Amino acid sequence: MAPEQVAGLELTPRCDVYSLAAVAYEMLTGRPPFQANSITAVIYRVMHEAARRVRVERHAASPLRPGLRRALAKEAGARYATAPSSSPPSSSRSSS
């Protein structure tokens, strides 16, 4: 859950970017970006602490670290505005 969602602020696509980054973080590391003994403590960490640096044995994760760090930024404005589209650009679509 993005920090602004916890705070009850307006939800934007940047919340989705944050959530996608949190899932990618867990896929790469085997653990969520924020862990604690209670949900209250997890929420505190989401609001006030940076996620631990991504550390995996595979070198493939190295290029992903800066993007994950940005996508997990506390301030919504510091995150990517949207996630990349999986659709091909309109100029490469065939016209029917």
pLDDT at 96 over 60: no
pLDDT value for 29 = 83
| Total structural domains within the chain | 1
**Count of C-beta atoms within a 10 Å radius of residue 80:** 17
pLDDT value for 67 = 83
d(CA 77, CA 3): 12
Nearest 5 degrees, angle CA 80-CA 81-CA 85? 90
Confidence (pTM): 0.65
Q: Which domain holds residue 33?
A: 3-77
pLDDT in tens, 3-56: 999 999 999 999 999 999 999 888 888 889 999 999 999 999 999 998 888 776
The verdict on residue 84 lying in a domain is no
User: Which residue, among 89, 90, 29, 36, has the nearest Cα to 64 in the 3D structure?
Assistant: 29
pLDDT value for 72 = 86
CATH number at residue 64: 1.10.510.10
